[in-house]
Structure 1
């Protein structure tokens, strides 16, 4: 198995699981730690219990809770840099309950050390939000969009069509919990093509050269995407919340917080196919306690540090 990390060339329907494309463009991927969050383990891993909503942590013992990282990613492509997800907003440092709201604040605690907010990390790499090619939001849950206000000057903020459609519903939980976090931000929808990539065989070729596919992995959220990327070292899968850690990848335990359990099981099965093949060098779950900041897929991942050019690439054609 690849280090929470590898890619079967066919999915369960016999279609191509990875479409490398004829162009040999690759990306560098840097994992950013953008705070952490305290969750009930039943949110990450489905649990058989009589509790009607164990993923909330309500009326559950403290030993069921766990602190997990909140991650974002920088994709360095020859045409520019893309940010994936945004982590926590700086407001959680001084007014956590005010930022999260009463309902979300009753479920979670947050932690955002100095320097870990996404805008602070971009500044440390001499990169301004308006210099990004785009921001990609894997799904509209609070820990992925809380910091969106910090990068609202990015030229484009991309969200999948099914995710936007679901979040726009009158009774959407994502809208209730995090709608205020993307209010006033111009969210640009993107659709999926029939590429044969992923559990539904549908993805979006981000740069048009096969180097990065935004793969539809519904279940935890209706329009959730994983990022399947080609690096110089091999294929890397950023699984978002289709998987949470070792119990997901090794035991096949789906998330406890889902909008569609069947879809969540199918998406996790595809992630595990990727993790059981020889082609990839890393499968990274957003909240896996084992992940560390740095360049993903490199031998000295934990010690690699920022790239020599500060994470920036020459200006080029945008998406």
Structure 2
């Protein structure tokens, strides 16, 4: 495929503030989640809350929507009681007025009304914060993740329905289908967002049951994989280390698949939601063309 046929004109990242989490959250750790959650005394340095913005010929696409600034201005944003205590122990947010989703989109020369599709990696608070402003967009979520929202005790599982299942939103639940695309094996199933192979959603469960990653492919450019919270540090993922939150068996399988995809797609750039190096990694990928793939000469 030639560059002239590239359906994507740009890929950008904005950050809706920063979040500090526990070092054990980043991982690796052998401690039980609730042990480190209630005993850890340390916080990481502030980490970004990344939203990736893709200009596709069929419309503007977001991967995740960041953290709502109301979470730091509205004292009733979070649940009370034990659930509220858990939320306060998990993360500390800092979001300035200029760090909202709408402000970041405007800096890129767009308006929220230009957003055709918002893909959610999962339904935790720091990925759904822009939903109140996206009532004119398709909101894409994995069916398994959507179903998990409606199981008992969602707030105890990190899901706040009052900030998610909002009136007027156009939800699209997707189910992976078979992909006749040997280039992205070991993944054999996914959802091709626009049917042109440029944006493919891949199931990478573990952090949550229905976590999604999005593969971005453009001719003459490094392939990109936006992985949500599968990891908080690409180096740790490459070394097979897992975060301290989630289903370890599922995360291990998903991490293995992603690391195999690195081999299948040379130059693959991994872009986690809270990796401090993700923005610079994306900038390098966009400025440096990939090395040509060498093929063995035949006589």
Specify which of 59, 64, 67 is matched with residue 88 of structure 1. Answer: 67
- Which one has a larger percent helix, Structure 1 or Structure 2? 2
Report if aligned partners of 1:35, 1:70 keep a CA contact under 8 Å in 2: yes
Greater shift in the superposed pair: 98-107 or 216-225: 98-107
Specify which of 146, 149, 165 is matched with residue 167 of structure 1. Answer: 149
Question: Could you report, residue by residue, the CA deviation over 1:195-233 in whole angstroms, capped at 9, with x for unpaired residues?
Answer: 265666321000101111011111111111111011241
Q: How does 1:252-263 map to 2 (within 5 A)?
A: 252-258=240-246, 260-263=247-250
Query: How far apart, CA to CA, are the structure 1 residues paired with 2:152 and 2:277?
Result: 37
Specify which of 19, 36, 48 is matched with residue 18 of structure 2. Answer: 36
Offset of 1:276 from its aligned partner?
4.6
| Partner-residue secondary structure (3-state), 2:227 | strand
In structure 2, runs of 5+ residues without a counterpart are 290-299
Question: Could you report, residue by residue, the CA deviation over 1:51-88 in whole angstroms, capped at 9, with x for unpaired residues?
Answer: 55146x322122x5442211011111122211111111
Matching of residue 115 in structure 1 with residue 95 in structure 2: no
Query: How far apart, CA to CA, are the structure 1 residues paired with 2:120 and 2:67?
Result: 13
Matching of residue 59 in structure 1 with residue 39 in structure 2: yes
Offset of 1:90 from its aligned partner?
2.0
Report if aligned partners of 1:46, 1:254 keep a CA contact under 8 Å in 2: yes
When the two structures are superposed, what TM-score results if normalisation uses the length of structure 1? 0.77
Offset of 1:300 from its aligned partner?
7.4
| Partner-residue secondary structure (3-state), 1:38 | strand
Number of the residue aligned with 1:136? 119
Question: Could you report, residue by residue, the CA deviation over 1:143-170 in whole angstroms, capped at 9, with x for unpaired residues?
Answer: 101222122x233111111110112111
When the two structures are superposed, what TM-score results if normalisation uses the length of structure 2? 0.81
Alpha-carbon RMSD across the aligned residues, in angstroms, is 2.7
Report which structure shows greater RCO (CA 8 Å, sep ≥6). Answer: 1
Question: Could you report, residue by residue, the CA deviation over 1:168-209 in whole angstroms, capped at 9, with x for unpaired residues?
Answer: 111335765422211313422111112265666321000101
Query: How far apart, CA to CA, are the structure 1 residues paired with 2:174 and 2:265?
Result: 30
| Partner-residue secondary structure (3-state), 2:225 | strand
Greater shift in the superposed pair: 36-45 or 179-188: 179-188
Question: Could you report, residue by residue, the CA deviation over 1:85-121 in whole angstroms, capped at 9, with x for unpaired residues?
Answer: 11111213423x5323324134221011232211111
Q: How does 1:125-274 map to 2 (within 5 A)?
A: 125-151=108-134, 153-173=135-155, 177-184=159-166, 185-195=169-179, 197=184, 201-231=188-218, 232-258=220-246, 260-274=247-261
Query: How far apart, CA to CA, are the structure 2 residues paired with 1:100 and 1:257?
Result: 20
Structure 2 CA distance for partners of 1:228 and 1:61, relative to 1, 3 Å: same
| Partner-residue secondary structure (3-state), 1:82 | strand
Greater shift in the superposed pair: 187-196 or 271-280: 271-280
